[in-house]
């Protein structure tokens, strides 16, 4: 196994060479437990803590290493390492911390693709998926939508109907982990050194999927699951795992709230169709509520745009506007 198996590439090579210290070695963060970092460099596993200098230079939580980060430590003696710095991230997938605090919460760093999991049961929510799409757009990560539990639909047609509200250009896969259908089509996305993050609510089948594609890991993923009050297993922490066939995967605990940490550009990327319509509205800052000459409302009327999508767009736009104001206030 090599650094490349863990996702090392020319970006990190360049960043590492800038440091010009031969006594330093890089490793990737696979798991974080409070202030303990579990690291791997392709050859050995290490446990690291932050050096005093690193800690004193940290201004905000998002400056701390997270899952998927590459850190640099002094050549460790044994399995313990002192983390001296963080290599500049290629990207970071984040959301806003739950609650009232205006703070970025990192989900994973240095990600190549995100698989947004949903279950094809009555809980399926397209607006929630659109939130995840926005988070992906914010850090320019390619999103895939995976609809699991196809076995709960009477036909593929029913599944397609349930998801037709989703923007047509988003790649979608219909699978059943239980029946092992559709899974092989996802495997090509787990290439050597590529990091894929699994997102989605609790109970949609993310961990079951990992256990299906990498049964040898199941002991490991079981270990991180506990039984919740409903007698179900649920993932309680994030971990980056190396798949036996190559590729890296980050399982996530299901998110109850997907609060946005995004800006106007990510919104415009996610709702390109509405943006294109907007340019034809009579008024420049049309709110698409009741203005005359509104091209967006006209599109809803003639069935070109779904009303639910417009509603969600309005809601997310307002949320981003509020976030932008708050971020200016608190300087983040
Ligand atoms: N019917 C059906 N059930 C499934 C399928 N895939 C997973 N399940 C079940 O759904 C439940 C939740 O699956 P998990 O894999 O734990 O879900 P998760 O997304 O990891 O949930 P969290 O860890 O809480 O975020 C389990 O009881 C699984 O057996 C499927 O394809 N069809
Ligand atoms: Mg899980
Ligand atoms: Zn309008």
Q: What is the pLDDT of residue 253?
A: 78
Q: Which atom of ligand 1 is nearest to the CA of 211?
A: 15
- Ligand 1 probe mutation, 182, 200, 203, 221, most atoms within 8 A of CB: 203
Q: What is the 3-state secondary structure (H, E, C) of 122-177?
A: CCCCHHHHHHHHHHHHHCCCEEEEEEECHHHCCCHHHHHHHCCCCCCCCEEEECEC
4-86 against 92-251: fold identical:
no
Nearest CA to ligand 1 atom 32: 149
- Ligand 1 probe mutation, 178, 208, 254, 257, most atoms within 8 A of CB: 208
Q: What is the pLDDT of residue 221?
A: 45
Distance CA 328, CA 332 (A): 7
Which residues are 46's β-sheet partners? 39
Give the helix ranges, DSSP H, for the chain: 10-19, 52-57, 126-138, 156-162, 206-213, 218-223, 264-270, 272-278, 295-301, 307-330
- Pocket (CB within 6 angstroms of ligand 1): 148-149, 151-152, 176-178, 200, 202-208, 232-235, 253-254
Distance 237 CA to ligand 2 centre (A): 9
Compare 241 and 22 and report the one with higher pLDDT.
241
Q: What is the pLDDT of residue 228?
A: 46
CATH topology of domain 92-251: Rossmann fold (3.40.50)
Return the CA Rg of the chain: 22
Region of poorest pLDDT, from 24-33, 189-198, 230-239, 293-302: 230-239
Q: How confident is the model at residue 232 (pLDDT cuts 50, 70, 90)?
A: low
Each domain of the chain, given as residue ranges in start order, spans 4-86, 92-251, 271-330
Distance CA 140, CA 309 (A): 21
pLDDT reading at 192 higher than 70: yes
Over the stretch 61-90, which tens digit does the pLDDT of each residue have?
889 999 999 999 988 888 899 999 999 999
Place of tokens 């200016």: 328
CB 181 within 8 A of CB 175: yes
Residue 199, phi then psi, degrees to nearest 5: -120, 165
Q: Tell me the ligand closest to 297's alpha carbon.
A: 3
Q: Which atom of ligand 1 is nearest to the CA of 209?
A: 15
CATH superfamily, domain at 271-330: Probable gtpase engc; domain 3 (1.10.40.50)
Distance 327 CA to ligand 1 centre (A): 36
Distance 219 CA to ligand 2 centre (A): 13
Between the CA of residue 225 and those of 42, 199, 228, 233, what are the distances in Å?
Answer: 25, 16, 9, 6
Distance CA 268, CA 284 (A): 16
Sign of the dihedral defined by the CA atoms of residues 257, 145, 127, 292, in that order: positive
Half-sphere exposure of 62 (CA within 13 A, CB side): 19
Distance CA 42, CA 3 (A): 5
Among 106, 109, 110, residue whose Cα is nearest residue 62:
106
Residue 89 structure tokens? 């991230």
CATH topology of domain 4-86: OB fold (Dihydrolipoamide Acetyltransferase, E2P) (2.40.50)
Region of poorest pLDDT, from 44-58, 159-173, 196-210: 159-173
Nearest CA to ligand 1 atom 2: 149
| Arithmetic mean of pLDDT, 18-41 | 90
Residue 8, phi then psi, degrees to nearest 5: -65, 135
Q: What is the pLDDT of residue 224?
A: 42
Residue 251 structure tokens? 């399982």
Region of poorest pLDDT, from 81-85, 157-161, 205-209, 252-256: 252-256
């Amino acid at each position: 196994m090599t650094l490349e198996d863990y996702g090392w590439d020319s970006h990190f090579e360049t960043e590492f060479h800038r440091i010009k210290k031969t006594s330093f070695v890089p490793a990737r963060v696979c798991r974080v437990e409070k202030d303990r970092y579990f690291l791997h460099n392709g050859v050995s596993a290490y446990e690291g803590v932050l050096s005093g200098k690193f800690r004193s230079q940290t201004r905000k939580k998002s400056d701390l290493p997270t899952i998927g980060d590459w850190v640099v430590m002094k050549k460790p003696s044994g399995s313990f390492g002192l983390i001296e710095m963080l290599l500049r991230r290629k990207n970071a997938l984040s959301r806003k911390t739950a609650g009232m605090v205006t703070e970025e919460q990192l989900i994973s760093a240095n990600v190549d693709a995100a698989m947004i999991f949903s279950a094809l049961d009555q809980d399926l929510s397209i607006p929630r998926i659109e939130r995840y799409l926005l988070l992906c757009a914010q850090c320019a990560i390619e999103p895939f939508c995976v609809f699991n539990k196809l076995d709960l639909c009477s036909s593929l047609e029913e599944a397609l109907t349930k998801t037709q509200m989703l923007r047509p250009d988003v790649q979608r896969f219909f699978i059943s982990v239980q029946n092992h259908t559709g899974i092989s089509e996802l495997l090509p996305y787990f290439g050597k050194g590529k990091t894929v993050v699994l997102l989605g609510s609790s109970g949609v089948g993310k961990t079951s999927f990992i256990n299906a594609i990498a049964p040898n890991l199941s002991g490991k993923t079981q270990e991180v699951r506990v039984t919740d009050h409903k007698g179900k297993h649920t993932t309680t922490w994030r971990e980056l795992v190396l798949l036996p066939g190559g590729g890296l995967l980050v399982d996530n605990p299901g998110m109850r709230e997907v609060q946005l940490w995004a800006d106007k550009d990510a919104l415009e990327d996610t709702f390109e169709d509405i943006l294109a319509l907007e340019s034809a509205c009579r008024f420049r800052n049309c709110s698409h509520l009741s203005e005359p000459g509104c091209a967006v409302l006209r599109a809803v009327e003639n069935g070109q745009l779904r009303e639910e999508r417009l509603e969600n767009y309005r809601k997310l736009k307002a949320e981003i506007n509020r976030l932008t104001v708050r971020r200016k206030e608190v300087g983040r």
